[in-house]
């Protein structure tokens, strides 16, 4: 692998982790300000994704700095896939349970959703930028981890857009039942995204 490209890739991964570490903290605060189910699901999603980013980075760092046999490298990939799939799967199940509870006991979302909306908007810009960067890395020098990161950030960008729509509806349609249905739809979209992420994480071609 080209050493310059390898350094650029790892720096990008570290930067992504540094920017992502604030996501769970701020969305956790935002979650206490509103009872929108999308906000709760977004907090869970960002927390799980942060753990996944750290796991993938550690795997990449180890393989980049050690000469390992092919079967050992494959074992590392398989272990990472299993960990990522299990962690995201737990998040997906929790989000689905939250959506079901909100479906069986419908309540119009209340509270201040401006902080969560702001974080989702910033997330859309940041994740979209990393999506393009990882796609460029994979095109320059095809690498399974860069491909995985590209797909992850592509999905993160789409979900951030859905969160913006859902939380925006709780502000625009405050006190109206339409905000409940849009908020609930946003929660299900995040759940579907997490389930799809489990599928991607389990594919041999990804990692």
Q: Where are the domains of the chain?
A: 3-202
Residue 15 pLDDT: 92
**Contact by Cβ (8 Å): 27, 42:** yes
Across the chain, the runs of DSSP E, i.e. the strands, are none
pTM for this one?
0.75
Ranked by mean pLDDT, the top range of 75-84, 97-106, 194-203 is 97-106
Q: What percent of the chain lies above the pLDDT cut of 70?
A: 91
Residue 34 main-chain phi, psi, to 5 deg: -150, 155
pLDDT digits (tens, 9 = 90+) for 129-153: 999 999 998 888 887 778 778 877 8
Torsion region of 175: left, alpha or beta (phi above 0 gives left; psi -120 to 50 gives alpha): left
Q: Please give the CATH topology (third level) of the domain spanning 3-202.
A: Alpha-lytic protease prodomain-like (1.20.1510)
**Contact by Cβ (8 Å): 150, 135:** yes
Continuous segment of H or E residues that includes residue 167: helix 144-172
Residue 205 pLDDT: 46
Average pLDDT (25-29) is 87
């Amino acid at each position: 692998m080209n050493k310059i490209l390898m350094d650029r890739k790892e720096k990008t991964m570290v930067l992504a982790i540094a920017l992502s570490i604030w996501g769970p903290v701020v969305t956790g605060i935002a979650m206490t300000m509103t009872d929108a189910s999308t906000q709760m699901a977004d907090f869970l999603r960002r927390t799980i994704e942060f753990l996944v980013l750290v796991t993938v980075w550690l795997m990449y760092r180890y393989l980049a700095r050690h000469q390992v046999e092919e079967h050992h490298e494959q074992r590392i990939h398989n272990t990472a896939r299993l960990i990522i799939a299990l962690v995201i799967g737990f998040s997906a199940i929790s989000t689905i349970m939250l959506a079901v509870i909100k479906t069986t006991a419908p309540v119009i979302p209340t509270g201040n959703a401006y902080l969560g909306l702001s974080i989702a908007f910033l997330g859309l810009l940041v994740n979209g930028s990393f999506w393009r960067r990882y796609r460029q890395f994979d095109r320059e020098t095809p690498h399974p981890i860069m491909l995985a990161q590209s797909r992850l950030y592509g999905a993160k960008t789409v979900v951030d857009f859905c969160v913006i729509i859902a939380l925006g509806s709780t502000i625009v349609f405050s006190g109206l039942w339409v905000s409940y249905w849009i908020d609930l739809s946003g929660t299900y979209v995040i759940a579907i995204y997490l389930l799809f992420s489990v599928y991607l994480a389990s594919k041999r071609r990804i990692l």
